[in-house]
Amino acid sequence: MSLVETIALWDEAVAAADKKDWKAALKLFTAVHDPNSKICFNIGCLHLVLGDLDEAERAFDSSIAKDEHLAVAFFQRAITFYRKEMYEDALRDYKEAFNQLRGNSLIDYKLLGFRFRLCACEVLYNTALVHAQLNQWQMAEEFLTKAASYKTEYSRGNTERALDAIMKKKLFDPLVVPVGELFRPNKQQVAQLQKRDFLGKDKVKVVASVVDKDTFSGFAGVQPQAEEAPVKPKTPETLRALEGEPHRVLFEFTAKTAKELNVLPGNIVFLLHKDSDNWATVVFNGKKGIVPFNYLESIKLNVGRKSSQSGEAQAPDIPPPPTLTAPYKPEGPQEITGSITRTEQKPKREYIQVPKPFVLKIHCKFTIAVQIKPGVAYNTLLDVVCKKLAHPPEAVTLSCKAKETGELITFTEANIKTVWDQAANGRLTIWCKTAQGYGKPLENGINADSCATEKFISQMVALYSFEGSQPEDLSFQKGDIIVILTEVNEDWSEGQCNGNVGIFPTCFAQACHSQRKGN
């Protein structure tokens, strides 16, 4: 079902609900294929009005599944559980609704098309009522006292009267979302559903001829008033050229000061100049401001290009949609080139290639990864490992596998060059023997000792496909499960996927359930 059809049904259903035709409104809402969280919430509210509590519960379940931060959906599902006398479930949902308020006194849903304010005071008020139903009068009193501290001018319910009822061990009525209040579609989107007569085809226009000796007695169109040929219309401009170099925005940026600009991925801005502090002055929609330079990507726009056959202006090249790129990688190779701003010739500067750090994987009772310069001496490498493991050097013995035989080679100062010869693709894997015993190699990409100690494995699911550009990168497709081995830094993690091990940008995946050992 298209977005236009969904909005049309949504608007029609809300109109039926405004007339209190609940069944007609419910029928229209349920006709929407793959409804969003707001429509599922509306369906649940209508089932509550009609007294169908089981269907209301299922609808609120769907709403929460589609938007796990919709606090009012938890609030309404708690009302449903309360009416079904499922008091423990109601308490759980009221607690989650209060958590989703994130310490705020209320959430105003007006901007989302829902004329309702969910107040923390009301959530605690209803929580106290559920405790009273469970004969937990002391807990009910505590929650009512807490509710009074969150009370605002928009809060409903009389906490003083409710406290008086609790002292007498009597119940009071719960606070609910007013009947008929539903999420409404965006007004601008609804307005666009109506057809408009931009050319005036539905209106009859009567015009008189202004040409001398015109004997036509009927209606005629407007005639030219000059004998000269009409001027050929100018080719319409498809893009107005602006001062500066065109760039495409890669990431969303929200302005925090008056000098900054709000931009979204895909916006085209014109770069005026770049400051030394990585801020860029740009022009966007006639406004000038600053944005982070590393949020931009240089592009070329072909404006007003004419066809060789028709001579008519063609539409400019439309740049491809923005792609989600990785944040800064951990300490990649750097080139110091210097910058020349004056026009006179300068002697060429030599590029200084900084050695790229290697990823050092250490297998002991757990698997960790650190960065290290390639070819360092034995004492330097040992010092890095000891600091990472918090062990003294005399309690640590390091070894690595020989490429040819697979046997472990024990590190010494004499054979450290041989050890570095075992590195491949920017990675060196070593094993560490400590006072606690030998670390074991990875089993199916997971450290066995780590599993025995940790008893669970952290996993993530890929939100986007990632194609590695370096040998140490881990490539995967959207939806792949990645076993997390270690965190390299705040932006990058090391993981195992499809039999491969490497590093990847953490923002390309999200945490999923932890797989326990033996499952």
- Sole residue written with tokens 């059809």: 5
Q: Which CATH class is domain 358-443?
A: alpha beta
3-state secondary structure of 19: coil
pLDDT-derived band at 58 (thresholds 50, 70, 90) equals: very high
Which tens digit of pLDDT belongs to each residue from 200-243?
Answer: 555 555 455 454 555 555 554 455 554 554 554 444 443 444 56
User: Quick one: how far is CA 421 from the chain centroid?
Assistant: 43
CATH for 245-298 is 2.30.30.40
pLDDT-derived band at 453 (thresholds 50, 70, 90) equals: very low
- Sole residue written with tokens 């923390």: 120
The residue among 157 and 308 whose pLDDT is bigger is 157
Task: Report how far residue 303's alpha carbon sits from residue 288's, in angstroms, rounded to the nearest whole number.
Answer: 22
- Residues 6 or more apart from 139 whose CB is under 8 A from it? 128, 131
Please say whether the beta carbons of 371 and 383 come within 8 A: no
Q: Averaged over 490-519, what is the pLDDT?
A: 76
Task: Report how far residue 191's alpha carbon sits from residue 195's, in angstroms, rounded to the nearest whole number.
Answer: 9
Q: What is this structure's pTM? A: 0.41
Residues forming a β-bridge with 410: 399
pLDDT-derived band at 302 (thresholds 50, 70, 90) equals: low
- Sole residue written with tokens 């965006």: 186
Give Cα separations from 507 to 60, 333, 460, 492 (angstroms): 30, 22, 10, 8
Please say whether the beta carbons of 389 and 457 come within 8 A: no
- Residues 6 or more apart from 425 whose CB is under 8 A from it? 471, 472
**Which residue, 262, 263, 383, 250, is CA-closest to 319?**
250
Domain with CATH 3.10.20.90 in the chain: 358-443
pLDDT-derived band at 388 (thresholds 50, 70, 90) equals: confident
Task: Report how far residue 295's alpha carbon sits from residue 289's, in angstroms, rounded to the nearest whole number.
Answer: 14
- Sole residue written with tokens 């479930």: 89
Task: Report how far residue 56's alpha carbon sits from residue 63's, in angstroms, rounded to the nearest whole number.
Answer: 11
- Given this model, what pLDDT does residue 333 score? 37
- Sole residue written with tokens 């004997």: 215
Q: Indicate whether 121 pLDDT > 60.
A: yes
Domain with CATH 1.25.40.10 in the chain: 3-167
CATH for 3-167 is 1.25.40.10
Cβ count within 10 A of residue 88:
9
Please say whether the beta carbons of 393 and 383 come within 8 A: yes
pLDDT-derived band at 305 (thresholds 50, 70, 90) equals: very low
| Cα atoms in the 13 Å half-sphere on the side-chain side of 201 | 5
Domain with CATH 2.30.30.40 in the chain: 245-298, 455-516
Give Cα separations from 6 to 38, 63, 190, 369 (angstroms): 12, 16, 10, 50
CATH 2.30.30.40 fits 455-516, yes or no: yes
Whole-number mean pLDDT of the chain? 76
